[in-house]
Structure 1
Amino acid sequence: MKIRLSVPRLRPALFALALLPAMIACAGEEQGHGAARAETVPGNAPDAQPQEWSLSGAILAGRHAFETGDDAMAAKLYGMILKETDGDPVTASRALAAMVGSGDFASAVELAAKLKQSGARTPLVPLVELADAAQRGDFKAARAALSAFGSDNISRVAKPMFGAWVALGEGKDEAAVLAELDALDAVNGLGGIAVMHRALILDHFGKGAEALPTLRQAAESGYGSARFIELYVDILHRQGDAAPARDYLTRLSADESGIAAAISDPLLERIAQPAPKGPVVEDARRGLAVAMFDLGSLLSSENVNEQAKILARLSLELKDDLDIARLLLGNLMQEGERWQDAIAMYRSIPAGSIYRWSAEISVADCQQKLKDTDGAIATLEGLVAARPNRMEAIVELGDLYRRDQRFTEAIATYDRVIAGIKEPATRDWTLFYARGVAHERAKQWEKAEPDFLKALDLSPDQPYVLNYLAYSWVERRERLDEALDMLHRAVDQRPEEGFIVDSLGWAYYQLGDFEQAVTYLERAVELQPTDPVLNDHLGDAYWRVGRKNEARFQWHRALSFEPEADLVKPIEDKLENGLGAAETPAAPATGN
């Protein structure tokens, strides 16, 4: 079984883009204008000096840069290609997307105008025109750009969201502006966004108090995006309702994890100060920026990441202090494995922003991906010092030490936060679980077992704790009937996680039920085919049921996946000598 520690994270789960083979390996640099550019890091992309590229080379390199998320380099290369060709519409569309994606808004506006003049049809042109017109304060032109949007599903949401703020810029009255949002009511899943934008518009017209009942209802029903939390608290604060805002934030800080809890403490500090004068959103341009971010965030949640990135970039062109848009862009770069670019974007969030702490959590993760362990430790230590009451950084720091096999330091790290908990809550199971893992890996079972039991006491059906504790009992030939039941419960909850399915198969192996073991271990390897431990376990089970050629094949596979050093020699011995006679199966405990 491969043992893993799973704890709540502030960022979305990462996914890897399928990278094209690298065509070049020269250094590149980003140029361009606009808010929040991510700096291209030497070694990330090829240099794009015109004299160094043939047209076919530039096309291949441009495609590679575009598909790996290096927008600055893609914009350069596609710009070169456009100068050498008659303006292929696919190339032009990609060039425009890359310009926006890299933050080179001025070049994007120029190219969009050329594309419009040439009659090229790409949905990004009117979106860039809309942002440019709003930035210039020309809402007549903004309305014309909006009318050129298509009829696809994204446009069905964009038109009313953006249209409300365009109407405000046109000088229309409250009723006309709010009427623009009515079309959102027909789109499933947009209730929270519609509530937020109606509240912002009412607040702009001096009627924030009228927005509060609907916001309060959404909060009580559990709607809790970071944007919603900030908006609800800001309007309460401006209306002089600091007490309910404090109660709301205190509950979030105590009961939630992730970004909702992370922004609660700085928001509590914000409402302790005098409320700002005026509305939350000062004008139509900034309102449109918020609408673009909200749509981008929605698309990101559906993994429509290219459009999400473009909308987040445009939102920053219209409102460059929209820090949550920088956080989204950092997330998207991180998901695309653009670790250095992600760090630069996260750290473009000002130190005083309510989102900076969350961004630094992600910075530490990027540093670990870059093998900068010392940098990650320094980042996390800074976060722990800044917010000793928040568990995310301390758990991440402990996890880092644990992964680096520095178990004594990991245990000391977890001890620091656990010592400060007066009454452990449900969410604290992660701390006891994490410390239990460190104790177990440090061969301190007498300390590990109580931590796992405490984690289960706090969260009785937590599949990761069930898996780890039950597997440990199986390995130790203890409480086997209870362990088997726990592993079945864990698999029932996480049937898609190979290492949990492996644990159940390995339990049957230890009990001598090799046929049943094979069933589960084959499934585990199907789920995680490149895990060396899982392949090793399946090889053992195959040997026990007489499938010796298949056993050796699995052992060879296990070695090919670079197992930890202490596993290499035992696997090599099995390849040479096979397995000896099976040990007497462990008998299930009687419970007496």
Structure 2
Amino acid sequence: MKFSLSPLLLLALLTACAHAPQTPDAAPAAAAGPVRPTLPGPVEPVLPEVALTDRLLYEFLLGDFAAQRGRPELAAQVYLDLARTTRDPRVARRAAQLTFEAHQYASSLEAFRLWQQLEPDSPLAKQMLVSLLLSGGKLAEARPHVTELLASDPQGVGHMFINLYGLLARVADKGAVLDWLVEVAQPYPKVAEAHWAVAQAASAANQPAQALAEAQQAASLRPEWDLAAMLLAQLTQRTRPEQAAALLAAHLEKYPAQQNVRLFRARMLLEQKQYVAAREEFMRLLQQRPGNAEIAFAIAMVSLQLGELQRAEEELRAALAGTSGKKDEDTLHFYLGQLSEARQDEASALIHYRQIREGERHYDAQLRMAYLLHKQGQAAQARTVLQQVLPGNDAQRVQLLLIEAQFLRDDAHYAESFKVLNQGLAKFPAQPELLYRTALAADKLKQYDTFERLIRRLIEVEPDNAHAYNALGYGWLERNVRIAEAMELVQKAHALLPDDAAILDSVGWGYFRLNDLARSIDFLRRAFAANPDPEIAAHLGEVLWVKGERAEAQAVWRASAQAHPDNETLQAVIRKFLP
């Protein structure tokens, strides 16, 4: 059984146990982590008298070699056996570490129990056992240990309650967690963090009234505490959003330096679509964090939402002038490029994207450059940009191939697009999207055997890929062959994705091939309502025409042709019936 604990727990195995002071401006997510109490200095454990026999020496060497050679499971089992045999607390401690690293929950729990038993005065052994028990949902067994830890460190009780909830948040039975935490917190009515933890547990257990009452208690006991203020506002927002924002505003009047609270309020105002007020809050935050590109962009995006394009650009340019490093400059150039695209100023967007020559934004900027160049009819330059991009992983390599192939397809270079896709498939023969796109390219070139072979390979790779079944079935329907098999395929696709417009269109077209015009029109209407695609319009109009509803057929074609005047499929159908 695998289990998941905070990475800090592993570190704690190798370091001294010390109380970490609480950060007053910490974000709510900071609640996760191990219990770290301040306890009296360690007492030397009583060590057993065990003779180092040849057998024991062999097992010690085996365990260490296994750990060094990348065999954590074997090392963990060997040391656990040694701990059972020797009952030496040092060996038990090593066994606990190794079983933890090997993600062996049951063995790790046994090792920690044994370590705590052999070294009862070790605060670290007790702390780690508690963490493991809570993460595994063993609340009853953990309770006496937690009670002892809390009582042993009155000054660190608040911090321990925050960390306790971080561990309890992983337990599936939220009602049991709430009941357990209420009992554990009962001796600490004046500890704000105890009420905060209970409030979190009550919220997770869908007890909103209890959660709100506990959050109010926490905020009353520690009115300056940012986590309590944000939790109270978050719970209040569910039923009284305007009051929640007002609570945070009042808190910031008293404690204006708390940046996380200000950011929390700004985001809350955005959710409530109070854009002007949100922008004011972001601007105050930017004064506290001058030169922060993310906040500057948030301000600009709010201005954009308000239709103030010029102001948005000025705000980003002002942020760019105040940047302190290349990373922020790249981020702001990327955002300015995005803003220029939103304003349909593609020339300015290209200028900004070209400024980004490295870093985490470089890849996305290159893709945007290629897209804009292709859109402007500079197909060769767009492909050159794509071919010069240095991908960071296989996913990006596949994405670049797909984009280049799509550019070629858009320009009606179908054979060359197929060639690019095949080159990609040679490198990534089981990549689903490459298989699908290459199959469609083969179908476009009327290489039907290749099309079918690739689609069937895709179905082997992804047996529940609805679009693969739909593509094969629709291909047969379009060529008016193997109609019964084709209907089985598109109906299977429909069962997997019942609301997909393209699949609804295929089923409707299949019923047309079977001369069931009523069912055909029903499916095609549903498809067209979900996505007024010109090819769906072509099918719907054709079936309506054949059924005798010619006025409606012409109306469907006419409206779609106005929106998509260059669609070849639609124009071909119109010419067929309205020469």
TM-score normalised over the length of structure 1: 0.45
Higher relative contact order (CA 8 A, sep 6+): 1
TM-score normalised over the length of structure 2: 0.46
Larger fraction in helix: 2
